[in-house]
Amino acid sequence: MRVVERQRIIAPSWSALLALIVLAPLLQPGYLLFRDAVSTPRSYLTDSALGLGDAAPRAVPQDWLLAGVSVIIDGGLAVTVLLVLSVWLAGCGAALLARTFLREHGAGPGAECTAATVAIWNPFVAERLLQGHWSLLAGYAALPWIVVAMHRIKNARAGGWPLLVFAVGCAALTPTGAVLAVMLALGVNARDTLRHLKRSGLILVIGAAAGAPWVVAALLSGDPGVSGRAGTEAFAARAEPWLGTLGSLAGLGGIWNGDAVPVSRTTPVALLATAWLLILVAGGAGALRRLRIAGALPLGLIALTSITIPAFAATPAGLTALTWVTSSVPGGGLLRDTQKFVALAMPFYALCAAAAVLLLAPHARALTRAVPAFACVMVIGVLPDLAWGAGGQLRTVQYPPGWEAAARIVEDGSPHGAVAVLPAGMFRVYPFTGDVVVLDPAPRMMPRDVLLSGDLVVAGTLVEGEGGRGRAAEAALLGGASSAELLDLGIEWVLVQLDTPGDRGDSRETLDQLVLEHSGIDVALYRVPGEPADFSAPSAARTAVVGAHALWLAVTLAAGVMLAVGRLRSTRSTKM
Dihedral sign for Cα 39, 44, 48, 50, please. Answer: positive
Position 154 confidence tier, pLDDT thresholds 50, 70, 90:
very high
Secondary structure (H, E, C), 103-141: HHHCCCHHHHHHHHHHHHCCHHHHHHHHHCCCCHHHHHH
Q: Are strands 438-439 and 456-458 parallel, antiparallel or unpaired?
A: unpaired
Going by the DSSP 8-state scheme, the letter that residue 18 receives in this structure is H
- pLDDT at residue 4 greater than cutoff 90: no
Residue 277 CA to residue 153 CA, distance in Å, equals 30
Confidence grade of residue 458 (pLDDT, cut at 50, 70, 90) = low
Rounded to two decimals, the pTM is: 0.96
Looking at residues 30-52, what average pLDDT do you find?
96
pLDDT per position as a tens digit, 93-123: 999 999 999 999 888 899 999 999 999 999 9
Q: Where are the beta strands (DSSP E) in 442-500?
A: 450-451, 456-458, 461-463, 491-497
Contacts (Cβ under 8 Å, ≥6 apart) of 571: none
Distance CA 318, CA 336 (A): 11
Q: CA–CA separation, 55 vs 223, rounded Å?
A: 7
Helix intervals (H) in 292-369: 296-313, 316-328, 346-360
Hey, which of 63-72, 185-194, 432-441 has the most confident mean pLDDT?
Answer: 63-72
Q: Identify the H or E element spanning 289.
A: helix 269-291
Q: How many Cα atoms sit within 13 Å of 548 on the Cβ side?
A: 28
CB 460 within 8 A of CB 453: no
pLDDT band per the 50, 70, 90 thresholds, residue 490: very high
In this predicted structure, the answer to whether residue 134 has a pLDDT above a threshold of 80 is yes
Measure the CA–CA gap between 309 and 541, rounded to whole angstroms: 37
Average pLDDT of every residue of the chain: 92
CA 492 to chain centre: 33
Short-list 86, 96, 181, CA closest to 354: 96
Put residue 380 in one of left, alpha, beta given phi > 0 → left and psi -120 to 50 → alpha: alpha
Burial of 321 (0-12, 13-18, 19+ CB in 10 A): middle
Q: Which of 526, 495, 520, 509 is nearest to 424 (CA)?
A: 495
Q: Considering the chain, what percentage of its residues have pLDDT values greater than 90?
A: 81
Phi, psi angles (nearest 5°) of residue 430: -110, 155
Residue spans of the domains in the chain: they are 3-396, 400-527
Number of other residues whose CB lies within 10 A of the CB of residue 508:
10
Q: What is the distance between the alpha carbons of residues 209 and 500, in angstroms, rounded to a whole number?
A: 41
CA atoms within 13 A on the CB side of 400: 18
Q: pLDDT, tens digit, for every residue of 463-475? A: 776 678 999 999 9
Q: How far is Cα 279 from Cα 349, in angstroms, rounded to an integer?
A: 11
Nearest to 223 by CA among 336, 331, 373, 310: 331
Element (H, E) at 401: helix 401-411
- In this predicted structure, the answer to whether residue 128 has a pLDDT above a threshold of 50 is yes
- The strand pairing partners of 519, in sequence order, are 524
pLDDT above 60 for 420: yes
Give residue 160's pLDDT.
Answer: 96
What integer pLDDT is reported at residue 195 of this predicted model? Answer: 66
| Number of neighbours of residue 154 by Cβ within 10 angstroms | 17
What integer is the mean pLDDT of 213-222?
Answer: 90
